[in-house]
């Protein structure tokens, strides 16, 4: 990430600290931005006199709030993600409420890191990859404010563009998260132009919506195309490997925004009812080393769904809940991505 290309909102941060009278605050930044953590800390100390503690833990999404650090500080500034989906889902705030009297949304302040980079050059390049006459436009939180200017560029290239809003997100039209693609699904076009960095969002959009995705990265100016059939074929192969599984490890994410215990227990009950063994395993990060020791034939992941792409390479099959239902004959293959 190019740190100078983002709005860090340091004036707003300092004003909030003063307004709340906070004496100790926390900072949580995505991995790509840890290099600027100490200069942000310096500025906060200089401007407000507050003590600053930097989170050294992962920060993959708004689902990933460092809640232990949150307990140590009066305000936690979480950078780089939208609060749109996860702010209401957290476990810990109930405890904080009782002890501090603060509402959960008052403890954690989301600094979205809007990008200041011009998206027009990469949209111009991406327009050449659009096959049809119309394209749906989506973006990550960093670029969603640039969608109108992307429409203008596409218009000049002779392409109609449409922006829709996810019904699940109380957020700007066109916004997608790594696990919420309602804005891409809602557009009528068969192709989607995604503005943002990395492959997780466009791969997820292609897999779950069945639409061809053209991904335009404003920082690298790279354009990549994601074909849904190729991605789905990979998932079919993982499902096929799990068809004979007699035992399952059902993974529950302990990060608040990924915590779906009820779903995991329902998966376990279904497996047991079908004569298979199933064990619920709670963990914060899902990686192959953590799963290697378990004597089960396959896993079902109820945590971060974007891991679907990463998990393809694991030795034992790791399924989504829908894929698990296909394995047990509870769902047809045609209904995998409704």
Residues that bind ligand SF4 (CB under 6 A): 60-64, 177-179, 257-258, 304, 306
> Residue 201 Cβ, how far from ligand SF4 at the closest point, in Å?
8
> Residue 27 Cβ, how far from ligand SF4 at the closest point, in Å?
19
Burial of 332 (0-12, 13-18, 19+ CB in 10 A): exposed
* Residue indicated by tokens 């992307």: 150
User: Tokens at residue 209, please?
Assistant: 């919506």
User: Tokens at residue 2, please?
Assistant: 């190019």
Cα–chain-centroid distance for residue 142?
13
Polymer length of the chain: 338
- 44 vs 321, beta carbon nearer ligand SF4: 321
> Residue 306 Cβ, how far from ligand SF4 at the closest point, in Å?
4
Output the CA torsion sign for 229, 233, 239, 243. positive
- 64 vs 112, beta carbon nearer ligand SF4: 64
- 125 vs 165, beta carbon nearer ligand SF4: 165
With a CB cutoff of 8 Å and minimum separation 6, the contacts of 97 are 103, 104
State how beta strands 24-28 and 51-54 pair.
parallel
> Residue 246 Cβ, how far from ligand SF4 at the closest point, in Å?
29
- 161 vs 171, beta carbon nearer ligand SF4: 171
> Residue 236 Cβ, how far from ligand SF4 at the closest point, in Å?
22
- 44 vs 63, beta carbon nearer ligand SF4: 63
**Which residues are 52's β-sheet partners?**
25
Residue 254 phi, psi (nearest 5): -90, -5
């Amino acid at each position: 990430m190019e740190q100078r290309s983002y709005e860090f909102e340091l004036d707003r941060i300092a004003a909030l600290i003063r307004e709340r009278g906070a004496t100790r605050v926390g900072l949580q930044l995505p991995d790509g931005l840890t290099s600027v953590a100490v200069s942000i800390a310096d500025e906060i100390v200089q401007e407000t006199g507050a003590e600053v503690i930097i989170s050294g833990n992962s920060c993959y999404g708004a689902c990933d709030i460092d809640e232990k650090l949150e307990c140590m500080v009066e305000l936690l500034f979480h950078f780089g993600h939208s609060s749109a989906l996860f702010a209401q889902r957290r476990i810990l705030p109930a405890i904080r409420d009782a002890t501090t009297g603060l509402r959960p949304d008052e403890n954690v302040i989301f600094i979205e890191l809007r990008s200041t980079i011009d998206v027009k050059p990469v949209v111009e390049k991406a327009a050449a990859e659009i096959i049809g006459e119309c394209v749906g436009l989506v973006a990550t939180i960093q670029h969603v404010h640039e969608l109108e200017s992307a429409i203008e560029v596409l218009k000049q290239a002779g392409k109609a563009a449409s922006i829709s809003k996810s019904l699940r997100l109380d957020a700007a039209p066109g916004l997608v998260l790594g696990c919420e693609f309602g804005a891409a699904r809602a557009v009528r076009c068969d192709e989607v132009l995604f503005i943002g960095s990395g492959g997780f969002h466009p791969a997820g959009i292609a897999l779950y919506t069945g639409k061809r995705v053209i991904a335009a990265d404003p920082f690298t100016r790279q354009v990549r195309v994601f074909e849904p059939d190729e991605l789905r074929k990979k998932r079919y192969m993982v499902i096929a490997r799990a068809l004979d599984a007699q035992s399952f490890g059902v993974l529950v994410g302990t990060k608040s925004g990924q915590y779906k215990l009820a779903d995991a227990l329902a998966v376990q009950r279904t497996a047991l009812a079908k004569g298979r063994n199933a064990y619920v395993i709670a963990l914060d990060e899902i990686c192959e080393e953590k799963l290697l020791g378990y004597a089960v034939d396959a896993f079902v992941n109820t945590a971060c769904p974007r891991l679907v792409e990463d998990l393809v390479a694991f030795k034992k099959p790791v399924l989504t809940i829908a894929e698990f239902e296909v394995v047990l004959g509870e769902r047809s293959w045609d209904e995998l991505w409704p």
